[in-house]
Chain A
């Protein structure tokens, strides 16, 4: 029927256009994202960290910590104090932090003052101390100036390559618009998925096992594109939705706050994340207060927490004020948990419970949905096997993206599109150059961190710039040679050799050769080294042995 034909063509056009526009962005998202699944392990590999056990956080003595801080001369009135267990130089410490929030205006000047405060240990100002867990004595912080060096607008500590690759994955390197761009990419990906399913609908079951490898080249790419696309469909669908959600989360929050809560941000936070609710100080000093340690020890039983694997963050709001509160937030971080967050809010004056959410009493609200989305997106609910499956599926998606580009090029490789031939070859060369060039560039990044000396000036930005230059250089080289087969083959060979060099660089730099690292409990070093060795060898073998695809017509 004419109508069917028209529909098919409309959806095919939509699928093609939305696919081609987002090719590069989506490939970077999935490739960098797949690697970023393991970003903590990569960070540990980079800094040669030993895997240490989590301390039992229920035995923290808050009263003693507060006494120690007051003895140091800090004024604690009306302050918000955060307690977390932090790991520094392979040992656990209790980190006690109180930093007043800076206003947006004049931020640069205020951060300069903040730096000065931390550096000179101004007793009246903000503080961030680490206490030993056995005797609560202060840890001597010798390289304090280095620690407060601002890393620019990036969230999190960007001087680690694991975190850098994670930021690459949602384009955080581009100021301001980066994350929205990734949201758009995810949205167009969603469109491409839905239209792709519509286009392929009639043949989904019929062609599921069709792999016509000996027919024409176009049919080869098409069959692999559709078959692998169908297999990866649920996974890609999850990422299309969670990706666009996380990319546009700012807009979503702003909309919700202005319309649903009449611009009242505190109300919104109180409903969505009750643990972070801010309580106004009443201005009256506190007469007597309950022993915080008593509250802390009875909390796990009240929240029905009876096993290990939670990360605890404790917070005191408006200390020494009438309205001061003690908040304990538990976050289930052990890999097998899906959603087990809990929190409790005590009033410090009389120990009364103001708000409580036990582990098995989750409601259905925005915070639970957002947390579920995060779990699905980061694959943190199933241990390393799940992350491996996510990683393999993301590589599969990268292949689907590239084969889509190949179909687009090969389908236009005939006389009808002669006028646009240069355009098509150029676009093809650039896209494949960028995509395939990312693999050797990342291997190069890993090698660089182990080659450059640690005391170098501006170390991380030179690593970053070198990585980007390498990637750009490969793209320009790809544009120059234009032959897609050669581009791919050389990228694989280059990536393979650099990948094999990674464990060698690690061994030369830190003497943690992979046959030694398992014994000394450097588990992350061992696995990252081994995986690079393995993938490097495989890609090298594949790269050296690929033969050019010759279509039957030209034989």
Chain B
């Protein structure tokens, strides 16, 4: 029943990067996405819904991080979402 180790990542660097990516990176990606949406769409409503969905999205991002095999894909997706959101926020100011 304990997970078969051969399917999981081996190197320590990869493990560390996944942990950081999951907790911090997923939070930044999820939060920036919600803030960008709030600025482009109706501020109040998105702000209200985001209070719940920020955490849901954060959890889903963390699961996504562990699910994907390639590390660069993981960072790519997170960075991508963060950059797009930040540019969107910057533009609307």
Whether A181 sits at the interface, judged by CB under 8 Å, is no
Residues A237-270 near B (CB distance < 8 A): 240-241, 244-245, 248, 252, 255-256, 259-260
Whether B73 sits at the interface, judged by CB under 8 Å, is no
User: Nearest CB to that of A248 among chain B residues?
Assistant: B55
Q: Roughly how many angstroms separate A512 CA and B2 CA in the complex, as a whole number?
A: 54
Q: How far is the CB of A187 from chain B (nearest CB, A)?
A: 6
B-chain residues with CB within 8 Å of residue A271 when the two chains form the complex = 44
Residues A358-398 near B (CB distance < 8 A): 363-366, 368-370, 373
B-chain residues with CB within 8 Å of residue A194 when the two chains form the complex = 59-60, 63
Is A9 touching B59 in the complex (CB atoms < 8 A)?
A: no
Is A10 touching B67 in the complex (CB atoms < 8 A)?
A: yes
Selecting from A12-20, A444-452, A460-468, the interface stretch reads: A12-20
Query: How many A-B pairs fall under 8 Å by CB?
Result: 92
Is A187 touching B44 in the complex (CB atoms < 8 A)?
A: no
A-chain residues with CB within 8 Å of residue B24 when the two chains form the complex = none
Residues of B within 8 A of A (CB-CB), count? 29
Given the interface pairs A259-B35, A411-B1, the reply to whether A187 lies near B59 with Cβ below 8 Å is yes
Whether A337 sits at the interface, judged by CB under 8 Å, is no
Residues B7-51 near A (CB distance < 8 A): 7-8, 31, 35, 38-39, 43-45, 47-49, 51
Is A407 touching B66 in the complex (CB atoms < 8 A)?
A: no
Interface residue from A9, A241, A407 paired with B3 (Cβ < 8 Å) = A9
Main secondary structure on chain B at its contact with chain A?
helix
Among A245, A369, A408, which residue has the most Cβ atoms of chain B within 10 A? A369
Whether B56 sits at the interface, judged by CB under 8 Å, is yes
Q: How far is the CB of A277 from chain B (nearest CB, A)?
A: 15
Whether B4 sits at the interface, judged by CB under 8 Å, is yes
* A residues apposed to B, CB below 8 Å: 5-7, 9-14, 16, 186-187, 190-191, 194-195, 218, 222, 240-241, 244-245, 248, 252, 255-256, 259-260, 271, 363-366, 368-370, 373, 407-408, 411-412
Q: Roughly how many angstroms separate A547 CA and B87 CA in the complex, as a whole number?
A: 64
B-chain residues with CB within 8 Å of residue A16 when the two chains form the complex = 2-3
Is B38 touching A260 in the complex (CB atoms < 8 A)?
A: yes
Whether B62 sits at the interface, judged by CB under 8 Å, is yes
Interface residue from A195, A222, A259, A260 paired with B63 (Cβ < 8 Å) = A195
Nearest 3 CB-CB pairings of A with B: A13-B3, A9-B7, A190-B59
B-chain residues with CB within 8 Å of residue A256 when the two chains form the complex = 35, 47
23 contacts between A and B (CB under 8 A): A6-B7, A12-B2, A12-B3, A14-B63, A14-B66, A16-B2, A187-B59, A190-B55, A245-B51, A245-B52, A245-B55, A252-B51, A255-B31, A259-B35, A259-B38, A259-B39, A259-B89, A260-B35, A364-B48, A366-B51, A369-B52, A373-B52, A408-B2
